[in-house]
Amino acid sequence: EDQVTQSPEALRLQEGESSSLNCSYTVSGLRGLFWYRQDPGKGPEFLFTLYSAGEEKEKERLKATLTKKESFLHITAPKPEDSATYLCAVLNTNAGKSTFGDGTTLTVKP
């Protein structure tokens, strides 16, 4: 059974204080790993797809990286508007469904 574990559950940062969120996964065959951002009361918003170990994707202050066992979402010089829950999900090569972690809730204080 595919599993995704995200850590920490919650992270509080000062504006400008860089940090990383972790997503550890076990999957029989990885088709893709996805990062989403979710604001309260809204659906997940797509950020990145990573397909193979060593791959990196960047968008503004966010950078996602992938190894064979985990993915990191690096946040550089965060701003208060980056406050949200960040979700990680894996897609198995043998299935159309995604398995999600429980997310990391990021709070950035001004």
Question: Which of 70, 69, 45 has its CA nearest to residue 59?
Answer: 45
Report if residue 95 touches another protein, rule: CB under 8 A. Answer: yes
Q: Cα–Cα distance between 101 and 6 in angstroms, integer? A: 6
- Which residues within the stretch 3-32 sit at the binding site for another protein (CB under 8 A)? 4, 31-32
Among the listed ranges 12-20, 60-68, 69-77, 84-92, the one in contact with another protein (CB under 8 A) is: 84-92
Question: Which of 13, 34, 1 has its CA nearest to residue 84?
Answer: 13
* Length of the chain, in residues: 110
Cβ 60 to another protein, closest distance in Å? 18
Q: Which spans of this chain sit near another protein (rule: CB under 8 A)? A: 4, 31-32, 34, 36, 41-46, 49, 87, 89, 91, 95-103
